[in-house]
Chains A and B, each alone.
Chain A
Amino acid sequence: MSKQVAVLGVGMHPWGKWGKSFVEYGVVAARAALADAGIEWKDVQFVSGGDTIRNGYPGYVAGATFCQAMGWNGARVASSYGACASGSQAINNARAQILAGLCDVALVIGADAAPKGFFAPVGGDRPDDPDWLRFRLIGATNPIYFGLYARRRMEIYGATEHDFAKVKVKNSRHGLANPNARYRKEVTKEEVLSSAVVSDPLRLLDICATSDGAAAIVLTSLDFARKHSTAPVKIAGVSTVTPRFPNTVIEMPNFATDSAATVAPPAVPFRDSIARGAYEEAGLGPEDMSMAEVYDLSTALELDWYENIGLCKPGEAEKLLNDGDTTLGGRVPVNPSGGLACFGEAIPAQAIAQVCELTWQLRGQAAGRQVENAKAGVTANQGLFGHGSSIVVTK
């Protein structure tokens, strides 16, 4: 049995700060994806929503909220939450429905209207919630964790602030012509290095902003897709892996890692296992990838991903970057969309947006940022509390 499903249509609401409801963004993206697929809303049999907890009750039941806004059509529905990985959870659930033969046409939607500044925990006094406690007891903001990872690269691999800044420079150029990107302005290394330090060694321009935005995908069975498109792009592998005990990397929002005192750490650490799960399903490896969209919450984190998704060995990411391999025109461009550096994070939309970008690239529709001869690409992302997220998309 084929484990592939087709990406028949993709669509976005541009990223930015628009001051509207996430529902409106989601509907705009959904309509764009339907139009791109050339199908009608009434033909959608399953709606898979990525949840956004910061938009109140409707955000927790995003799937049905979008259905109502589109005009009830009787579709079956599900809503998924996996923090930053909510989008791939929603894609995976739609894929499972199709592969099980329960439906032919599914619509996946993720949208967010993000608050300003630091992500703050949900309000109130909640001393049993680690996400609340990490702010209360340590002031461990998200950039604190990013700063720890970045400093670790400097300490063990000799990475420098200049390397980190070059990631931003690269991504800012990649996103210049992307109509859905929020920031379309070239950034120089000097500008990054003169921006204020947030969490040493990371500066304001090393860390991604929070944005409003929405992305949607029409997923269908291969049979259905063949009747509507001559060469649909396909999802060949989806990974929603969790860590294996003991997870020895300090992860948001935790105070400590697992203890490895009695059980040896897994041969494949969690972050290395994320893309591996998608490669295995696709029957492909990192050497087969023409490009990657990875979660650059910080510039330094993008370098970690190069290693985690197998583009190079541990400690070689800075060389890969500095050799131009991950720049458009290089061997395996990373974040041709411009990445979070140009988008800012719209949590439940982001993993879906990564697949939208790979789809445009594989169709040759990524004007101004096209990866030549793109045959396959991989996404990578990770959600709070142990949500791996990686998707392999092929021609």
Chain B
Amino acid sequence: MAKKRVPAIDGWFAMDTAEPRLLGTKCSSCGTYFFPKESSFCRNPGCSSTDLEEVPLSPRGVLWSFTNNCYPPPKPYVTPDPFVPYIVAAVELEREKMIVLGQVAGDVKIGDLAAGMEMELCLDTLFEDDAAEHIIWKWRPAKGAQ
């Protein structure tokens, strides 16, 4: 039987495999976006609003830069055995004008990537334990782009 799928962190993204979205907040006064969510005070120094609403962020963006990790990182990362190197991408969201990090999903090689490529959000397994599959957001080259 398939394991239970649980978000690796609550409230940071929608658990919707078909239409995954990061969940941020938007200041209802000045319109500035925040990720992870800023819920108490708008951080625009010219705005004193305390009214921030949850919004899904753009699921697509442009690759700003990318790198990988070839060695097992320290805890609290849960390292599979054997360790599998992973790519991390920094993706710039057009509407939010914000760069968001995430691992890159699937069998993508460093050589497949280039700054400026269109990337899209997806959900993937971060790690598994006896109880569940822990799900996280990742980036991947956008389908139908280029």
Instruction: Verify if A71 is at the interface (C-beta below 8 Å from B).
Output: no
In Å, the complex CA distance between A248 and B101 comes to 13
In the complex, per-residue mask of A137-155: 1 if CB is within 8 Å of any chain B CB, else 0: 1111101100111111001
Decide if B66 touches A151 in the complex (CB within 8 Å): yes
Q: In the assembly, what is the distance between CA of A135 and CA of B136, in Å?
A: 13
Q: Are the C-beta atoms of A118 and B74 separated by less than 8 Å? A: yes
Q: Chain A residues with Cβ under 8 A from B99's Cβ?
A: 248, 250, 256-257
CB-based closest 7 A-B pairs: A147-B67, A120-B74, A155-B115, A260-B97, A259-B33, A152-B65, A259-B98
Chain A residues whose CB sits within 8 angstroms of the CB of B46 once the complex forms: 263
Does A133 contact B65, Cβ atoms closer than 8 Å?
no
Question: B90 on the interface (CB 8 Å rule)?
Answer: yes
Q: 12 new A-B pairs (CB below 8 Å) besides A117-B74, A256-B36?
A: A118-B74, A127-B9, A135-B73, A135-B74, A137-B126, A141-B73, A149-B65, A196-B70, A199-B69, A200-B110, A245-B45, A263-B32
Task: List chain B residues, Cβ under 8 A from A200.
Answer: 67-68, 70, 110
From DSSP, what is the main secondary structure of chain A's interface residues? loop
Expressed in whole angstroms, the minimum distance between the Cβ of A266 and any Cβ of chain B is: 11
A residues in contact with B70, CB < 8 Å = 196-200
Cβ distance B117 to chain A, nearest Cβ, rounded Å: 10
B49 → A minimal CB distance (Å): 11
Q: Which secondary structure characterizes the binding site on chain B?
A: loop
User: Which of A134, A144, A259 is the most central at the interface, judged by chain B CB atoms within 10 Å of its CB?
Assistant: A259
Contact A133 B97 (CB under 8 A): no
A267 within 8 A of B: no
A254: chain B residues at CB < 8 Å are 101
A-to-B contact residues, CB < 8 Å: 117-121, 123, 125, 127, 130, 132-141, 143-144, 147-152, 155-156, 196-202, 245-246, 248, 250, 254-263
Cβ-defined contact, B69 with A148, below 8 A: no
In the assembled complex, B43 has its CB within 8 A of some CB on chain A: yes
Could you jot down 15 A-B contacts, CB within 8 Å? A117-B74, A130-B36, A135-B74, A139-B77, A141-B74, A152-B65, A155-B116, A202-B67, A256-B36, A257-B99, A258-B98, A261-B31, A261-B97, A262-B31, A262-B44
Contact across chains for A136 and B33 when beta carbons are under 8 A apart: no
Nearest A residue to B74 by beta-carbon distance?
A120
Binary CB contact string for chain B from 127 to 146 against chain A (1 if under 8 A, 0 otherwise): 00000000010000000000
Q: Mark B33-59, 1 if CB is under 8 A from A, else 0.
A: 111100000011110000000000000
- A138-B32 contact, Cβ under 8 Å, with A147-B68, A155-B114: no
Residues on the B chain within 8 Å of A156, using CB? 115
Write the chain B residue with the least CB distance to A125. Answer: B76
Most A CB contacts (10 A, CB to CB) among B75, B97, B126 go to B97
Q: In the bound complex, how far is the Cα of B98 from the Cα of A258, in angstroms? A: 6
The answer to whether A135 and B76 touch across the interface, beta carbons within 8 angstroms, is: yes
Q: Is the CB of A258 within 8 A of B43?
A: yes
CB distance from A109 to the nearest CB of B (A): 28
Write out the residue numbers on chain B whose beta carbons fall within 8 Å of the beta carbon of A139.
69, 73, 77, 86, 88, 103
The CA-CA distance from A120 to B98 in the complex, in Å, is: 26
